[in-house]
Amino acid sequence: MTFEHILYNVTGRVATVTLHRPEKRNALNGTMVAELQTAFSIAEKDTNVKVIILKGSGEAFCAGADLEYLQQLQKNTREENLADSRSLMQLMQQIYYHDKVIIAQVEGHAIAGGCGLVTLCDLSYAVPDALLGYTEVKIGFIPALVSVFLVRKIGEGRARDLLLTGRLISAQHAEYYGLVNQVVPATEIAEYVAKIAEDLCSGTSANSLKVTKKLIAGVLDVSLEQALEEAAQRNVETREHADCQRGIQAFLTREKMKW
């Protein structure tokens, strides 16, 4: 499928979604948001795809909202702005609850909505020169949607620091805060992320990854007792799944499992 603002390709069991507006520093607009939704839907339905890599073309990962897009928002009616916000909300939910593991490969600055995309990914790796942050308050806007996910990811205190100050932090600081998993040299990051993706494809059960993601996403939504009961039920379902039965058999017979 051909897109206007993104690239989508599959190599082996890994789908790569590339934000592709390098002349605009991969800034988000309504079209790109819709195309990202479509790409993630395609990847979710493709049984051959097990891992998704999200990256950007050119020097930036994503510079946030496009200027023309921001200008249009000022002209929108309340209903139009609500519909637009809900579209972005749906993309965020789609990434957060996606069945497949999504890895952010951050090879440039990730700002505002761009940093929001990093926040939502399961795993994130950034180059040393990348700056990350949520600058919405500096233009009179608010980081409303991403705040819901950021508090979950790095805790209230650190989320307050980043969201209220609107400051940009280094990749190293983002790693310290838990916003990214690791800082990787620019000359090595593509190979490093590809290796992480390949290890997930060859060394883990797709069903186990999907169920584990669901457990993590839902654990803060219910009481401790409910979370434990849900975990117990998931244990039973997983033990009955063919992946678990094959994996245990391979372990007992000391055979290398091919996932």
Q: Which residues are catalytic?
A: 136
The closest of 150, 155, 145 to 121, measured between CA atoms, is 150
HEC secondary structure over 159-186: HHHHHHHCCCEEHHHHHHHCCCCEECCC
Angstrom distances, CA of residue 121 to CA of 22, 134, 230, 231: 21, 16, 23, 23
The closest of 77, 82, 86 to 33, measured between CA atoms, is 86
